[in-house]
Amino acid sequence: MERLAGQATFLFIADTSGSMYGEKISAVNATLAECMNEMRSAGNAGRVRAGFAAFDERMKVLSAPQDVAGISVPDYRTEPAADGFYPLTSCAGLYRELYRWVKDGFAKNPEEKLYLFLITDGKPSDAGEERDGLELLKHEAAFREAEKYIALIGNQKSALPDTVLEFVNYRMDRIIQLKDLPGEIAGVKMTLGGGRADADDRNAFYESIFGR
């Protein structure tokens, strides 16, 4: 991951479908806590932000982007629906909501560097219906220009379908193991600077779009 310059936002989107139950979701929580420790230690208050979302059959925003100095990692959980069944992994629901999030939050801020980390353990259940959302995403400049990674749980790299691989433009070097994610974060040289007024302005901007 290259050196950063200017404003940067890191969005972590973790799979919380039924197959993530138990040790896998615990590993996600522990790994993201370690990632935040790495980001805070860089000492760039007001210039680096993190946001968190979960997805199964749809994407849910858990924490809108905030200054890394004051944000905590939400508690990711895998829970059954009212009928007792656990939700499946759906890229269709993910891409539709991610499109709205990127379009509303980042399309008008070309100076901001966006990093997207998709955390999952394997193949989604979609049967082609994810294409519409993916095509919308690919037309957003903020998404096209973002640095995108897949943090994979398990050894299913070769089994990932095209609609997941397209998330990283088929770049196999952008598919890493979950355990290596803190190392990727640590490898970013946070040279952003910036003052408190900048932080207050950007936090107000995010609150106006995403809420608290």
Rounded to a whole number, what is the largest CA-CA distance in the chain? Answer: 50
Which strand (E) or helix (H) includes residue 116? strand 112-120
What count of residues does the chain have? Answer: 212
Tell me the whole-structure pTM to 2 decimals: 0.83
What's the pLDDT score for residue 191? 44
Q: Model confidence over 157-174: pLDDT tens digits?
A: 777 888 888 899 999 999
Three-point CA angle 31, 181, 158, nearest 5°: 115
* DSSP H helical ranges for 149-192: 162-165, 181-186
High-pLDDT (> 70) share of the chain, % = 77
Tokens 């508690």: give the residue: 75
Q: Model confidence over 140-199: pLDDT tens digits?
A: 888 988 999 999 997 677 778 888 888 999 999 999 999 999 988 887 654 444 444 444
Q: Between β-strands 59-67 and 175-177, what pairing exists: parallel, antiparallel or unpaired?
A: unpaired
SS3 helix, strand, coil % of the chain, rounded to 5? 40, 20, 40
CA dihedral (184, 190, 196, 201) in degrees, to 10, reads: -60
Q: Is 6 left (phi over 0), alpha (psi -120 to 50) or beta?
A: left
Q: Model confidence over 72-91: pLDDT tens digits?
A: 899 999 999 889 899 888 88
Closest CA to 31 of 185, 169, 182: 182
